């Protein structure tokens, strides 16, 4: 049997085991491929159109929003159970379709399980405040009510977890969801939708509370422009967000944007270099540099830069690159040829700017040979300063290194990029760490100490500032984005005192 036949038939088996129909070997629908070998996995089925999905979601919302939140939580509990049961199958499918190594494919499903656990608890904690009023015999409070139909637009790099962060909160909040996944990762979406349908069935919910719309750009645009969609939660490039935000704003809808990152680590003289090297390698190389939280810039004190770069080069030299399905691999493929073009162009530009590629940057053969799958050696590039290429997000494993002498300058360089997602400092000096976390430190939504910028837990709010889009998903009080707040004032007296001391008649 050829490798091609193996991956396509493995995908069919996995889909069946997850309760979904296998893809068609021949069909009218578009073909979809695996980045592991570049081979076709099959042809996609036709799903409901965006407009019809929104119609069904809007109708379902009227009923679903009246179901008590702790009862809504039952769907999420069932989903969490199903994900536990099917973790290895779904994780493997993520590896086949998105090219993540085994451990990261499983980790992504674990993130889904974690947010389900969070969501079940949250379903009993959707609380509003009681606020002191200035009027006697009055009570003022706020309540959080379901918002409406939520469109979830996801990217290829976290093809299932990002859906779950949004959908779990939306379901608990009493919203209904229409999902438009990346064109590059429809198969995992089909599998997850089958699990979500089964979860609803097990919870006794006979409403289309979650739906899947497969399609190209037009499908996403239809959701963005539909006035019945109350919230558009979109993960992807800044370019995409720049188009989505004004269109949704034009109809006074809400957006939750998770766009590009250009995440950095400042490495201080006191840093524990053993830990720093491990933290940097995981963040810069994990998922082949294709996380929005991937580490792209190291801003290193001049006294430790040479040693750190030598140690990074040594660590990079031993990285196993190859099929993400091989449990020993640490670096899987880039998603497609376009990703390689951007990777190579960024390296050329860095060299033209005076950068020196210390290690990596070459294209290598993967399991599909030179014909299929895009594999590269992760690169470390020493730059003379933070030039334009460093200020751009290139979705691949390139780590740029610049040096600093003064921490204030390092923080200025750190913040001098258009994006503001995640950040980190490696130091054992309390003053340096606290300064980085302070208002005059990192300007990102996520700031870490002695941890790289990637691999956030679901319990915290996830998202960033500036061109990252300002949205927050996942933990903490991110659920509020999926609900509408009402402020209620109740007069239980027999007088009618007016606010601000106004007298009227």
* Residues with active-site annotation: 258
235 binds ligand UN1 (CB under 6 A): yes
To which residue do tokens 């606290």 refer?
434
Of the candidates 209, 212, 191, 188, which has an alpha carbon nearest to the alpha carbon of residue 200? Answer: 209
The half-sphere exposure of 463 on its side-chain side, counting CA atoms within 13 A, is: 25
In the complex, the smallest distance separating the C-beta of residue 101 from ligand UN1, rounded to whole angstroms, is: 14
From the list 60-68, 156-164, 369-377, 402-410, the region that binds ligand UN1 by CB under 6 A is 156-164
CB of 272 closer than 8 Å to CB of 303: no
H helices within 123-214, ranges in order? 161-173, 186-202
Q: Which is nearer to ligand UN1, 80 or 463 (CB)?
A: 463
Among 72, 86, 254, 291, which residue sits at the site for ligand UN1 (rule: CB under 6 A)?
Answer: 291
454 binds ligand UN1 (CB under 6 A): yes
Segment holding 232, helix H or strand E = strand 229-235
To which residue do tokens 């979109």 refer?
234
Q: Which is nearer to ligand UN1, 112 or 456 (CB)?
A: 456
In the complex, the smallest distance separating the C-beta of residue 454 from ligand UN1, rounded to whole angstroms, is: 4
Indicate left, alpha or beta for 72 from its phi (over 0: left) and psi (-120 to 50: alpha).
Answer: alpha
Among 123, 176, 263, 293, which residue sits at the site for ligand UN1 (rule: CB under 6 A)?
Answer: 293
Residue 488 three-state SS? strand
To which residue do tokens 């704003």 refer?
249
In the complex, the smallest distance separating the C-beta of residue 401 from ligand UN1, rounded to whole angstroms, is: 21
329 binds ligand UN1 (CB under 6 A): no
CA angle 58, 153, 21 (to 5 degrees): 80
Query: Which residues are within 8 A (CB) of 205 and not within 5 positions of it... i.e. 6 or more apart?
Result: 64, 67, 74, 75
Query: Which residues are within 8 A (CB) of 168 and not within 5 positions of it... i.e. 6 or more apart?
Result: 76, 79, 115, 116, 118, 119
263 binds ligand UN1 (CB under 6 A): no
Return the residue nearest ligand UN1 (CB atom): 456
Using CB under 6 A, count the residues that bind ligand UN1.
Answer: 11
Residue 137 three-state SS? coil
C-alpha 294/C-alpha 283 separation (Å) is: 5
In the complex, the smallest distance separating the C-beta of residue 161 from ligand UN1, rounded to whole angstroms, is: 7
C-alpha 18/C-alpha 10 separation (Å) is: 12
Chain positions 68 to 127 lying near ligand UN1, rule: CB under 6 A, are: 111
Chain positions 5 to 24 lying near ligand UN1, rule: CB under 6 A, are: none
472 binds ligand UN1 (CB under 6 A): no
Chain positions 411 to 450 lying near ligand UN1, rule: CB under 6 A, are: none
Among 417, 456, 461, 481, which residue sits at the site for ligand UN1 (rule: CB under 6 A)?
Answer: 456
Q: Supply the DSSP symbol for 375.
A: E
In the complex, the smallest distance separating the C-beta of residue 317 from ligand UN1, rounded to whole angstroms, is: 25
47 binds ligand UN1 (CB under 6 A): no
From the list 184-192, 286-294, 326-334, 394-402, the region that binds ligand UN1 by CB under 6 A is 286-294
Among 61, 144, 158, 395, which residue sits at the site for ligand UN1 (rule: CB under 6 A)?
Answer: 158
Of the candidates 177, 142, 67, which has an alpha carbon nearest to the alpha carbon of residue 484? Answer: 142
284 binds ligand UN1 (CB under 6 A): no
Q: Which is nearer to ligand UN1, 157 or 193 (CB)?
A: 157
* Residues binding ligand UN1 (CB under 6 A): 111, 157-158, 162, 235, 291-293, 454-456
């Amino acid at each position: 049997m050829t490798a091609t036949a193996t991956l396509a038939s493995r995908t069919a088996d996995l889909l069946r085991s997850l309760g979904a129909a296998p893809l068609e070997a021949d069909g009218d629908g578009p073909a979809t491929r695996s980045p592991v070998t570049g081979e076709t996995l099959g042809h996609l089925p036709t799903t409901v159109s965006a407009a019809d999905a929104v119609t069904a979601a809007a109708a379902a919302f009227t009923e679903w929003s009246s179901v008590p939140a702790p009862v809504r939580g039952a769907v999420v509990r069932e989903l969490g159970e199903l994900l536990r049961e099917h973790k290895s199958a779904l994780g493997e499918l993520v590896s086949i379709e998105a090219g993540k190594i085994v451990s990261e494919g499983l980790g992504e499903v674990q993130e889904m399980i974690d947010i389900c656990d969070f969501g079940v608890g949250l379903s009993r904690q959707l609380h509003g405040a009681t606020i002191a009023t200035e009027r006697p015999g009055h009570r003022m409070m706020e309540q959080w009510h379901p918002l409406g139909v939520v469109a979830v637009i996801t990217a290829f790099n976290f093809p299932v977890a990002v859906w779950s962060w949004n959908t779990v909160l939306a379901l608990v909040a009493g919203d209904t969801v229409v999902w438009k996944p990346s064109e590059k990762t429809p198969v995992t979406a089909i599998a997850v939708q089958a699990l979500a349908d089964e979860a609803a069935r097990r919870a006794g919910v006979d409403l289309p509370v979650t739906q899947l719309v497969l399609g190209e750009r037009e499908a996403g645009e239809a959701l963005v422009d539909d006035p019945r969609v109350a919230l558009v939660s979109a993960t992807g490039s800044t370019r995409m967000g720049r188009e989505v935000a004004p269109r949704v704003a034009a109809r006074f809808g809400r957006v939750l944007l998770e766009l590009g990152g250009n995440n950095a680590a400042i490495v201080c003289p006191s840093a524990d270099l053993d830990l720093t090297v491990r933290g940097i390698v995981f963040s810069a190389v994990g998922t082949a540099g294709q996380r929005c939280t991937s580490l792209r810039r190291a801003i290193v004190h001049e006294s430790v830069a040479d040693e750190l770069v030598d140690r990074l080069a040594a660590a990079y030299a031993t990285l196993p690159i190859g099929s993400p399905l091989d449990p020993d691999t640490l670096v899987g493929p880039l998603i497609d040829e376009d990703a390689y073009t951007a990777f190579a162009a960024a390296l050329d530009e860095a060299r033209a700017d005076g950068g020196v590629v210390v290690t990596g940057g070459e294209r290598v053969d993967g399991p599909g040979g030179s014909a299929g799958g895009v594999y590269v050696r992760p690169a470390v590039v020493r730059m003379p300063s933070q030039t334009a290429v460093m200020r751009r997000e290139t979705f691949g494993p390139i780590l740029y290194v610049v040096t600093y002498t003064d921490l204030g300058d390092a923080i200025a360089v750190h913040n001098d990029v258009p994006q503001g997602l995640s950040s980190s400092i490696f130091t054992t000096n309390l003053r340096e760490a606290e300064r980085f976390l302070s208002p005059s430190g990192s300007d990102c939504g996520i700031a870490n100490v002695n941890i790289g910028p990637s691999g956030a837990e679901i319990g915290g709010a996830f998202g960033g500032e500036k061109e990252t889009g300002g949205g927050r998903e996942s933990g903490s009080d991110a659920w509020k984005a999926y609900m509408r707040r009402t402020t209620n004032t109740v007069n239980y007296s027999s007088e009618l005192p007016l606010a601000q001391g106004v007298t009227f008649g």
